[in-house]
Amino acid sequence: MQLALFIIFGALALGGALNLLYQRHPIHSALSLVVVMMSLAVLYWSLGAEFLAAAQVIVYSGAIMVLFIFVIMLLNAGEEHRTNGSRAAYAVGIPGAAAIFCLLSFVFLSERSALMTSNIGGDLSNAADNIADVSAMLFTRQLLPFEVTSILILVAILGAVVLARKEQ
């Protein structure tokens, strides 16, 4: 069951990411990223993070991607053109990314015996469910960082309003 979920939604996430790389129009890239985020939400759920799966769907694919698509529509962004810079980026980008992937997967596969296998659903602690676990941690030990992030959000709102305002 978990292997089937992993293969189906892992392949979907990978296909969405490759489509993001392949498409030239920004709106197609944005919609492929929505596919990646939705399949990652299913993988989070299968790893026992129900709260994060819901937050991923609501915050990432619901709010952030709508903001992206809104800006793409607002600026009427067209297809991108190939330039000298993009040819140089192809020469550097593909081998660089492949090298980073080879390094990471070599480390993960060589440490494979130390990394255990995972079963479907959450078995994090003795709490009744994942949300109780997360909220207990968030509102007791992590209360100060939680409050600081609310200030961060406030500053980000003010900054966005100031930056996007029309020049006088």
Partner 1 sequence: MVPTAYYLILAAMLFSIGIAAFLIKRNVITIFISIELMLNAVNLTFVAFAHMWHQVAGQIFVFFVMVVAAAEAAVGLAIIISIFRSRQTLNVDEIDLMKL
Positions in 93-152 near partner 1 (CB under 8 A): 93-94, 96-98, 100-101, 104-105, 108-109, 111-112, 115-119, 122-125, 130, 133-134, 137-138, 142, 145, 149, 152
Q: How far is the CB of 121 from partner 1 (least distance, A)?
A: 10
CA distance 143 to 137: 8
Closest among 144, 143, 122 to 133, alpha carbons compared: 122
Binding test (CB under 8 A) with partner 1, winner from 8, 42, 49, 129: 49
Residues 9-38 that bind partner 1 (CB under 8 A): 10, 13-14, 17-18, 20-21, 26, 29-30, 33, 36-37
Determine, following the binding rule CB under 8 A, whether residue 43 of this chain makes contact with partner 1: yes
- Could you give the string, one character per residue 63-92, with x where binding to partner 1 holds by CB under 8 A and - elsewhere? xx--xx--xx-xx-x--xxxxxxx--xx-x
CA distances from 92 to 14, 51, 63, 96, 99 (A): 21, 39, 33, 6, 11
Determine, following the binding rule CB under 8 A, whether residue 8 of this chain makes contact with partner 1: no
How many other CB atoms sit within 10 Å of the CB of residue 29?
18
Q: How far is the CB of 77 from partner 1 (least distance, A)?
A: 6
Packing angle of the helix pair 65-75, 26-46 (nearest 10 deg): 180
For partner 1, how many residues bind (rule: CB under 8 A)? 89
Determine, following the binding rule CB under 8 A, whether residue 62 of this chain makes contact with partner 1: no
Give the tokens for residue 37: 């985020």
What is the maximum alpha-carbon separation in the chain? 62
